[in-house]
């Protein structure tokens, strides 16, 4: 280092800076803050992308060793360094600053709120499911039959598209695999056994429990389990929707048997894959104000068409479970019919979503528990079937159909309510951490 040899003028060098600091006022009033190379635990982390707490100390040490800087220049240089990095104030007298780098944990990410649009959609969709099952035994009334065909054309495709959309990020990670088992696999086993016992106790003479042949509405859980497992495959295929459609159309050309209701698993697969390919911007198109009257018009036309075709088509088409030969048609005609049904169902799903409220309402939270309603309402509809209530004359009138639909809305809403969820969460959302072990990985041989 080089110091000036002239006796007059301001003294320079590190010693001069130290003397100037010693001569400052005892209370430090008016003195500039002196960066301390030892980080203060209470100081925020450095703003640079390097190790937190170390960039400011390096810059301060560099400015303190400038050989020709005066006390004012040293202060200015330190301030300049502080402009780019975080600094810490000098510790109070008699108190020693902690040494070592400062590590401040980042705040937890805020939990992403549920979009009320999709919860509203699921709430109204489950009301369609309950209503469709409620009027299934009233189809001798033309009003009920036309409405039944209309509902069944798109109510399950609607659920499946939304399910596929929320399965886009599904992987074979341990957490998601365990949730698939507890929230889909276990409820399937529980309700397959429960419905079989319920059916037997209600009057059937033979007790039949088979996990390979889904009973009544449990087929959806079986299909959902298989669809979720296939998600990573569809996410890596160049044209997943075309491939899924090919599987669906081919599945109806032969008898695949009733195991796992496999015709429905393959037949409705394109709707699940469609949901996988959708993005938020696609739903934003359906939320535009201009889409609402268009959607209402499409649904009105679809309902009218259902009444026009109800005398010319078998309702077994809308169950999506029978191969062509069981419907009395050849493969060519049956394939054209299936393609038309896929197109109609997709259009009706989009039209229905245009009418869904965007904001949060009293029923929005109920949309998060629609699986409870789906699996539990069957006990009510089967009870009415076992007890002969569907044979009441007053039900087989237009007024009776309206009354049954109103009752379906009330029952569906109640089965989505918090009391039902608290009472039945052991079966639909069981806590089964004791069943699982850490992920076993194959040893390297």
> Concatenated DSSP letters for 257-301?
-SGGGHHHHHHTHHHHHHHHH--HHHHHHHTSTTHHHHHHHHHHH
Residue of higher predicted confidence among 388 and 59 = 388
d(CA 286, CA 355): 9
pTM above 0.85, yes or no: no
d(CA 68, CA 71): 10
Mean pLDDT value across residues 151-171: 95
d(CA 314, CA 323): 13
Q: Is 162 helix (H, G, I), strand (E, B) or coil?
A: helix
Q: For the segment 411-444, what is each residue's pLDDT rounded down to a tens digit?
A: 999 999 999 999 999 999 998 888 888 877 777 7
Q: Is 88 exposed, middle or buried (0-12, 13-18, 19+ CB in 10 A)?
A: buried
Q: For the segment 53-92, what is each residue's pLDDT rounded down to a tens digit?
A: 433 333 333 333 333 333 333 333 333 333 334 444 444 4
Residue of higher predicted confidence among 3 and 286 = 286
Which has the minimum average pLDDT: 106-110, 133-137, 223-227, 283-287? 106-110
d(CA 357, CA 233): 34
d(CA 413, CA 405): 12
Please enumerate in sequence order all residues whose Cβ is within 8 A of that of 381, keeping only pairs 6 or more positions apart, or say none: 133, 134, 136
Q: Predicted confidence band at 327 (pLDDT cuts at 50, 70, 90)?
A: very high
What percent of the chain has a predicted confidence (pLDDT) above 70? 74
Q: Predicted confidence band at 106 (pLDDT cuts at 50, 70, 90)?
A: low
Mean pLDDT value across residues 281-293: 95
Residue of higher predicted confidence among 203 and 151 = 151
Mean pLDDT value across residues 304-313: 93
d(CA 403, CA 384): 15
Mean pLDDT value across residues 292-316: 95
d(CA 212, CA 225): 13
Return the pLDDT at 54: 39
Return the pLDDT at 111: 64
**Cα-based distances in Å from 333 to 95, 248, 257, 266, 313:** 89, 15, 21, 19, 13
Return the pLDDT at 158: 96
Please enumerate in sequence order all residues whose Cβ is within 8 A of that of 354, keeping only pairs 6 or more positions apart, or say none: 286, 287, 291, 292, 294, 295, 296
């Amino acid at each position: 280092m080089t110091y000036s040899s002239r006796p007059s003028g301001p003294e320079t060098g590190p010693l001069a800076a130290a003397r100037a600091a010693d001569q400052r006022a005892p209370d430090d009033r008016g003195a500039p803050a002196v960066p301390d190379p030892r980080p203060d635990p209470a100081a925020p982390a450095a703003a640079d992308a390097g190790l937190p707490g170390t960039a400011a100390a390096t810059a301060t040490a560099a400015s303190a060793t400038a050989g020709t800087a005066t006390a004012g220049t040293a202060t200015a240089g330190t301030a300049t360094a502080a402009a780019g990095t975080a600094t810490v104030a000098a510790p109070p007298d008699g108190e020693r600053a902690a040494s070592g780098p400062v590590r401040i944990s980042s705040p937890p990410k805020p939990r992403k709120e549920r979009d009320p649009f999709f919860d509203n959609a699921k709430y109204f969709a489950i009301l369609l499911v309950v209503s469709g099952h409620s009027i299934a035994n009233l189809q001798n009334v033309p009003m009920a039959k036309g409405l039944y065909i209309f509902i069944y054309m798109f109510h399950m495709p609607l659920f499946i598209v939304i399910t596929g959309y929320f399965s886009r990020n599904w992987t074979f990670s341990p957490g998601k695999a365990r949730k698939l088992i507890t929230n889909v696999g276990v409820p399937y086993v529980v309700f397959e056994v429960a419905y079989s016992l319920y059916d037997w106790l209600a009057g059937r003479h033979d007790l039949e429990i088979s996990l390979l042949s889904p009973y009544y509405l449990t087929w959806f859980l079986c299909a959902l389990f298989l669809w979720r497992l296939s998600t990573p495959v569809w996410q890596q295929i160049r044209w997943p929707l075309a491939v899924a459609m090919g599987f669906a159309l081919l599945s109806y050309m032969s008898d695949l048997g009733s195991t796992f209701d496999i015709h429905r698993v393959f037949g409705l697969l394109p709707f699940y894959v469609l949901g996988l390919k959708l993005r938020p911007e696609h739903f934003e198109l359906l939320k535009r104000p201009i889409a609402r009257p268009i959607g209402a018009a499409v649904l009105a036309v679809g309902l009218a068409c259902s009444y026009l075709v109800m005398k010319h088509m078998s309702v077994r088409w809308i169950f999506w479970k029978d191969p062509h030969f069981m419907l009395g048609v050849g493969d060519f005609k049956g394939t054209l019919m299936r393609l038309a049904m896929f197109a109609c169902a997709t259009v009706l799903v989009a039209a229905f979503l245009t009418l869904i409220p965007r904001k949060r309402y009293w029923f929005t939270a109920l949309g998060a528990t629609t699986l409870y309603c789906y699996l539990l309402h069957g006990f009510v509809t089967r009870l009415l079937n076992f007890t002969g209530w569907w044979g009441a004359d007053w039900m087989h009138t237009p007024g009776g159909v309206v009354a049954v639909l109103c009752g379906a809305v009330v029952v569906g809403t109640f089965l989505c309510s918090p009391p039902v969820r608290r009472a039945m969460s052991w079966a639909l959302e069981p806590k089964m951490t004791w069943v699982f072990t850490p992920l076993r990985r194959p040893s390297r041989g």
